[in-house]
Structure 1
Amino acid sequence: MEFLSFYHLCYLFLVWAKRASQIFICLYFLERDMLTGFCSCALDLHSISAAVRSKRGWMWNQFFLLEEYTGTDMQYVGKLHSDSDRGDGSVKYVLTGEGAGSLFKIDEKSGDIHATKRLDREEKAYYILHAKAVNRFTNEALEGESEFIIKIHDINDNEPRFTKDPYMARVPEMSDIGTSVIQVTATDADDATYGNSAKVVYSILEGQPYFSVDPETGLIKTALPGMDREVKENYQVVIQAKDMAGQMGGLSGTTTVSITLSDVNDNPPRFTKTLYEFRVPESNEVGSSVGVIRAMDADIGQNAEMDYRIIGSDGPGMFDITTNRSTQDGIIVLRKPLDFERKRQYSLRVQVENSHINPRFYSMGPFRDEATIKIVVEDVDEPPEFERASYVMEVKEDAAKNTVIGSVSASDPDDKNSLVRYSIDRRTDMDRVFNIHAGNGSVFILRELDREENAWHNISVIATEFNNPRQISRVPVYIRVLDVNDNAPTFATNYETFVCENAKANQRIQTISATDPDEPLAGHRFFFGLAQDAAGKANFSVRDNKDNTAGILTRRNSYSSLQKSVYHVPVVISDGEFPMQSSTNTLTIRVCTCDREGNMKLCNAEALTARAGLSTGALVAILLCVIILLMIVVLFAALRRQRKKEPLIISKEDVRDNVVSYNDEGGGEEDTQAFDIGTLRNPEAIEESKQRRDIVPETFYPPVRRPVLPPTRDNNGDVRDFINQRLQDNDSDPTAPPYDSLATYAYEGNGSVAESLSSLESVTTEGDQDYNYLSEWGPRFKKLADMYGGDDSDRDS
């Protein structure tokens, strides 16, 4: 079986025409790209011829097919043929594999293969199929199945596409020619291994003469020297990519490259003026700004950063200059106080220079500039100035009034030299201890001083110009009060001790010490002893320990609390200063019963209090505190109980009728009084002393009993008397309920005209009842019902 295509038929025609010699022939096909495939077939003609002569089953194993076929008929691919086919129709050709039956169809009888659709090589470059020849009737394979390939020949149907659009690039200004900027890349989907369909050539459409592009690599480079960012910063370059190696008829694509020139330090800073002049008052504080200067630089960013410095001045150290990094301004700062009377004008020489210098451009000239600054000092009326920043004065605490302790001095620094007046700021001397002479500044005292009360006085002295009182200045004056021995020593604490009844002579019972508010330079030295008037009859003695302490000693054996329970020992304490000061202090000693070791066992109440460390006043204070606390607790408990207690009647709306109903005729108002609705509402409100309502108190209110005649049918006056009596009894009864209650007075006597007042009987009776006998008592009965909260319907019980 043979695979015969159009190429094969041409080849066989040449072989048969001239077998002895090698023939090279090229056929011009409608599609130029098919020439390569045809020639490749021609190179294998001898091998194919040998195969034909050897009757090999498969003569050819590869077909070629053009992509993007535009014809109206199906595109012919090739032909399958078997040596077993004699043309009688008994051979059947079968095609299987990729696209068989859908993309590729075969004529079962002739073996011709056709493509049913347009094929795109960029989607799939080749198809692998299998062919076999079988007997049409027996379906027996005449030859074994073999594999062959249909390759799709590429045509130039895809234009080059750039990977980005647009491109962004930066290149330093002033770059040399040929400096690389950026590389662009375009890809072509056509077959790069077959023909020139995918061979791309780059060219520049816009951007000359500043930039160029390498036609093979797409690398963009600078093409013009000295491109200045300050002249033009941004460039738009259009690059074209064309396939077919740039030949006519090729497809192309374009992209835009945005190129920005980055700044380099190629411009020096320049002052806007050569001479600057500033006027500043002499009162400006140190550290304040005197003026601002500015230099301009065409560069940007760190290339425009600059530093200022003073390179010459007729007032060394008076001024300094700093750079504001956000604005690149030069700020002139005052470093020393100005004085119009001393110097009225200053001249400075200032230089500015870039902080970051590019050595490449240093040859273009110095990257610095200079300017002159003139500073004029203006006169200001200044306040007086003291000779010192502060004054310290000393005075003894026993100094007399109006004693001068020191002086201050101030003068007007201005040329007019105004007179100065002095005064004391009374906010610093509210007790008016000191005063000052307004003319000469002498400070003197107005009253006696006490070092123990206040050892230092800090005052403020004010100096005011006589001609301009608004010009003032202050100076602190520290006055130290020197100590004078004007205080006598006393006991260091309030000593109280005891002596045992069984004490021995010369036994120490207490050690005492002294204190003195004075502060001698050499320290305190105290002397202790008994008062002279008590030395002869003293029961105790004082021994000076020579260390500012002394011991109290007994002078005899045994003491009796029955004879004398308390001793008062006068102790004289003296200091060693001049003039000597002394005082007499009383030591209280109580007599107590002690054991053999000297521990107190029994003493009077005052002694016990003393030993416990509590005085009588302290005990009284503690007792008062306890009493106050108890009163607060009782008051709190009473208020809490009153807050919890609910009133009998909360509001007018809470008033309820106390209606008592009886199914039998019982005791009447006695039963009514026996039921207290207030007890149910608030059981806690019952007091223990409250008398029972169901028992009339006989002790305080003896019962009033009046003979009552039962009413009869013949005498209606008995009913009137009966009701009057009941009404009077309830009105005068002090034990009657204070709230609304209904008391019924129904009574049926033997001679009742109404016979019955029951509402039930009235309903069942056929005739109307006659209630005329009540017409006279109607208003009064209604008043009685209103008083006790009753209702007309409750007349019968």
Structure 2
Amino acid sequence: MLKLCGLQFLLLIQSAMWLNLEGLRVSGPLKDMDFFVQEGGGPRILHQFTLEPPAVSFRMSGEKAGIIDIEPRTGILYINGSLDWETKQVHKLQVESLDESGSKVKGPYSVTIHVEDINDNPPEFDQKRYFGIVRQNSRPGKPFMYVHATDRDDPTTPHAQLSYSILHHFPNPYKEMLFQIDNATGAISPSRTGSYYLDPQKQAIFTLVVSVKDMAGTTINAFTSSVDVIITVMESLWKAPPIIHIKENSTQVHPVNISKVWSNEPDVIYDIFEKEKLPRLPFSISKNGDIYVTEPLDREEKDTYTFFVVTKDNTGELVDKPLQIHVIVDDINDNPPVCQKPLTIIEVQENEMGGSNIGTVLATDMDKEDTLNSRLRFQIQSQEPEFPEKNLFYIQKDTGILQLTGRSLRKRESAKYFLKVLVTDSKYETICDVEVHVIDINDQIPIFEKSDYDSVTMAENMPIGTVILEIQATDGDEPDTGSSLIIYQVKEGDPNNTFIIETDSQTNRGFVKINKALDFETMPVYNLVINATNPEPLVPHVQYNSSSTTKFKVVVRNVDEPPVFPHPVYKAEVSEDIPVNTLVMTVEAYDPEKDSVRYSLEGDVRKWLRIDPATGQVYTNSPLDREAEEIYSIEVVASEKNNAAQKSKAPLILHLLDVNDNPPEIATDYPTFFCYPVSGGEKTLIQATDADKQYFYSKFTFSLADEMNTRNNWEISKFNATHAYLSPKHANFEEKVYDVPIVLNDNGNPALQNKVNLKVSICKCSSENSCFIEINREHSWPTPGQAIGILLAVLLVIGAILAGVFCHMKHKEKNEKSHPKDAKDKAELNRLA
């Protein structure tokens, strides 16, 4: 009864609320309806259905959940409690109207209540604590574990959209976190810093506090949960193996597994790339990281290999840092000794004592150096002939040094010995052939056929290389050996090596030749002492004596020679404005015979210079002019005073330095005119030139003469460093030629100024924009002869104009090459023209 009263009380309140909501149009006739209601919120009125006679009441059936109903008499649809989206999202109901007898009037109509979710559930992790393992040096951003949380709210709304983050990081030895998490997937991976610094030797366990928020983490009203993640850091699997040793010439079936590498990540693709560019790389790697050698190796071909192993993911990106693999090919004894020469020839003098080292038998082994595989042993296997006895020779077994055993060899007993030397290593052996040549000892000295070759006289101008004497000595030692070959030398009397002696090796004949020019004035007589020696040293008890020495006298005959200039050319730089009779330079020449020398000039076409015939002093004879000739070349002549036919010449080059001695001028390459009548605003270019040398570029100043009439009629304005504009100041000009006085300044040092009267024509112009010449028509037509004369005159004028234009263009081209700035200015003039 109390419950019923409570419900009636609630309905009364709701009725009052309904009266207030009537203006909001929440009532209407019975029909199908959909309602969207947020979960929670408590009791509420959804709608009021109005009765239509004969209906007097309503009835509801369906998924009421114990809290959804309709008031039969008033038709108020209400919820007496709180809906829960997580329990049921849609409630399907049927409503019908009844008459007084309880019979159905209308319906049933469908009433559907859609429950709308509100964010009323915090996210929850699916584990109370997570555990993960990460390898040292793992790729940054590559997940090694995941955390996962769920939210009971509607997944189609932000209420269940979750965002992960790392709140804390224990311990945290670096400013940046060693781990990172994907805020959408919960994937945990090393950060870039972690990939570099994670090391189980320093810190093996880390605890991460991972947070998850709903509402995508975008609002402070989001629900938050957290969980601990325990991460164990383990040593990296990705390590280069130790140096790999492989025996050469292996007989195993290839490929042979020689090592293995492991990546920190599964399902990677292993690959090899070369460090060196080789014709082929005899190694491969399997999909599991097993490294193979694919063929037998030869240490003598290549004793070490270096290559890299890399790992890639399925997109081709590198996973781990490349590992460098070193392979050493170990030696086996697979190479026999090799004689360094097919035949070793050793020369031994007859007087060599027993025990002397006479040579070395050289052999090599391609096996590894300084190992037993390449250790060689030497042994004499045979000696031919075995005369005068066996075992004349001994070989050191470890070095191959060949020695005489006890007695000196005699050439008359045998000139040659043939040895077979056995060379062995621990497995192979080779025979090396050796010939021992017995050489005659140098126990005979050269003996001259003459002890004095008397004397020879020759002119001092005899050419170098002339043979002046043939000499001969003989030697009793074995021919064609160093003991019998004779070397001739001037021992005394030739301090300056004026003579040389060449030997014919076949006949031992000597040829004395002039090595340097003879000079009677320096050395009129040579008393030469010549000795003869062998290149091979004499035996100890034999010495050279007077028989190996001869004498020879050379008398030099004087020849009258022309004077000699000590310098091949004489040069001087002088300023072009030096006064006449200025000393320019002094030239000197001497006569080998001590005769007096006189000087003169040849080629002085400008008569600029004169020379003192006795002293060689050169003076200016007339004013110099650089603009006439900048480099002035003539010749100085030096002749003997007593024999003028004996003379020598030397070039004299005078370089004239410029001074500013030429005033500027107006260029007259083209006429200056204005078309009549003058309308105002016209202007024409005028150009200044200067014959002086322009060291950088020309620079002129233009101005009008300080005359009243000139300044009233004309004005001048600068265009560039070499040109200016001339303009009429008014239009009241007559048709005639005007003299316009223009003052030019070349800005030199010192500056020169020039006043020039420029003739300016005011004339009627033709269609070609040139002055029109009116023909006098008062007379009759010209005769044929006159016409021909006029035509020839016109052709001559045209030819002169073309020649002037050609010269002007050449002049401009030269200036443009010499002065880039002027060239630019002239290009601008051409454009304006």
Q: Give the TM-score normalised by structure 1.
A: 0.34
Higher relative helix content: 1
Which of these two proteins has the greater Rg computed from alpha carbons? 1
Q: Give the TM-score normalised by structure 2.
A: 0.33
